[in-house]
Amino acid sequence: MKEEKQKPQPTNTPSTPLLSASETEVLKQASIINSKIYLPWFEDDSTDSFWTQEPFRDPDGFLKLSQEQHEKFGCWKRVPELMANPRMVSRMSSSSIVQDVVTDCSFVASLCVSAAYERKFQKQLITGCIYPQDADGMPLYNMSGKYVVKLFFNGIYRKIVVDDYLPVSKDGKLMCTYSNLLDEVWPCIIEKAYMKVNGGYDFPGSNSGIDLYALTGWIPEQIFINDYKWNAEIQWKRMMSGFKKGRALITLATIDMDEERAIKIGLVPTHAYAVLNIQEADGQRMMQLKNPWNHRRWNGKFSHLDNESWTNGIREALHFDRAKALEHDDGIFWISFDSVLQYFESIHVNWNPAMFSYQHVMHVSWPLEIGPMVDAYTFAHNPQFGLEVNATDDSSTMWLLLSKHVTTKDENKDYITLHIYENTNCHRVYYPDMYSVIHIGAYVNSPHILASIKIPQGKSRYTVVVSQNEKTRSLTFSLRAYGKHPFLFGAIGNEYPEEKEIRHRFKVGSDTKTSDIHVWEQSLTIEAGQICIMTEAQENVTLKLKFVDSKGAVIAESVGGYRPKFAFVEFALPEKGKFQAVVTVTGFSGSNDVNDIEVSLNVRSEGRITWEKV
């Protein structure tokens, strides 16, 4: 199967760039999520027919409930049956949002930081994704009960239609996220839309980086506190600056701990917390957090129970009233950054993409049958992308975000990453050690992988390689590039118009009386031009490749001697002629069993290729 050739594209593309045929097909496949179709968002969706005489009921039916919801479930009720004077938004406040029995603490933490952002900066963020809206873009309560929520999912914004039927317990209480501002509706509706696209209220859990990316489109970064690259000073300054400038939405996730210890310190194990404020006061670095449960607070240093650590300077800078805090537990508390480093394991930061003047996206398919299951020995068949940046100063960075398309709520077992090589002239990387690597990615099963590199002044060319730890299925993904200087970014396809492949099998083992070296000579005629020849084996053997002319003179030879499972040569052939590709196979002498070894020879050329009989 040949790769689709794509030329690098300009990066200041419009918000709705033209898609290639293959990209359209990728996004079409990614529209089927948890057995339902979620179409791309179009501008006229904002003027959908919302107002009907009869109450709207979602044709997709009621959402699947979690086990805990089932046990407490009474009935489904519409918003007008639950609230006397429903309003979509009463007062944007992070303190009013409450998580109930749905296991979506990360999502509720995401709602809290989004609400805090809107309140602090007086800019619309999360409320802008709910329709219908008024002339100012604020969401409206709809008596008919039909809502459309615009979520960023599987590469693009998508249209999620929901009704206003909400799960209610046997004792009449809401069993979903809600606002304690009595008649405020928006948290219920936006959660229902997100739960729908994720398969139902029986949500297996997520992290706030994933959730906020779907809600806002802001770039997700996950920072592990115990990672070997962790630098507390640098990360604190990044978070502090991003938060103050309104460029960052931040949540934290606690470590795992036994329940006795958790109750003692007032934290919930493996739980998401919203970051509502970041301050420095009297030499202390402080963070204000909110537990999505709306109760259960930190009991350690600088908590409401601590009467020793709070100096007058810190108390005044943070506007902390200890007496008031002792009276009411709303799940909001201050904690020092030092305590965060002790009791939290990761930080999720979502960055405003508007920080970057230049952006580009590609939507890509990676079929299971393309390339080996494990790419430890060669990246020859991996999706690869050329990146050219022309920076006017030496303080520039490029961010690359790979987002896997998720179509079921089954456990994500795809461990994937990005590797970035420098000084490649945007050429394909065949061996993992072929060029100098500037970024080695960690293999993670998160749907979003973010890589960033510093760009020197002048023109630089890189190759970006998508890699999996072990392929188990076909994948589709979106790859976004963000930069502060103009750049070119495009897929590195098969540059050769001619391609032929032949396979060779031989037996090895004690009964075959073979030596520990096997030589395969394949004759061929090739016209002049650029040539690439690859030899590959699935078995654990080592290979060496030579290309010789009719007189036996070596024209090209694979570098590094014998290499495991894969070898290649790439060169310019000055004139047409008859040649031999010589593949030497070794590394199989230890087996007593008789086995078949299959070796492939793939030849790509600018001119015509003809196999010759040996």
CA dihedral 481, 485, 490, 495 (to 10 degrees): -150
Q: Is residue 105 flagged as an active site residue?
A: yes
Q: List, in order, residues 6 or more apart from 365 with CB less than 8 Å away.
A: 22, 25, 26, 29, 474, 475, 476
Q: What is the strand order of the sheet 130-131 is part of?
A: 130-131, 147-153, 156-162
Note if 291 is an active site residue: yes
Residue 183 three-state SS: coil
The CA–CA distances, whole Å, from 339 to 316, 593, 595 equal: 21, 59, 59
The CA-to-CA distance between both ends of the chain, in Å, stands at 27
Cross-strand pairs, 503: 600
Identify the active-site residue in 105, 176, 426, 532.
Answer: 105
Q: Which two tokens stand for residue 503?
A: 């396979």
Strand-pairing partners, residue 387, are 462, 489
C-alpha distances in angstroms, 53 versus 29, 56, 67, 146?
35, 9, 35, 11
The answer to whether 102 and 203 are in contact (CB under 8 A) is yes
The residue type at 269 = P
Can you tell me the distance from the alpha carbon of 214 to that of 158, in angstroms, rounded to the nearest whole number? 10
Cβ atoms 603, 609 nearer than 8 A: yes
Chain-centroid distance of CA 401 in Å reads 6
Catalytic residue among 154, 198, 207, 291: 291
Catalytic annotation on 426? no
**Strand bridging mode 437-440 / 344-351:** unpaired
Instruction: Name the residue among 188, 222, 335, 325 with its Cα closest to residue 276.
Output: 335
Among candidate residues 129, 271, 352, 405, the one labeled active-site is 271
Task: Enter the tokens of residue 378.
Answer: 């060669």
With the C-alpha atoms ordered 492, 495, 497, 500, is the resulting torsion angle positive or negative?
negative
Please tell me the distance from the alpha carbon of residue 217 to that of residue 351, in angstroms, as a whole number.
9
Q: Which structure tokens are listed for 333? A: 């508390």
Residue 537's H or E segment, with its range, is: strand 529-537
DSSP one-letter string for 163-180: -SEEEEETTS-B-S-EES
Main-chain dihedrals φ then ψ at residue 72, nearest 5 degrees: -105, -5
**Cα–Cα distances in Å, from 254 out to 95, 257, 330?**
20, 9, 19
State the Cα–Cα distance between residues 491 and 469, nearest whole angstrom: 21
Active site residues per annotation: 105, 271, 291
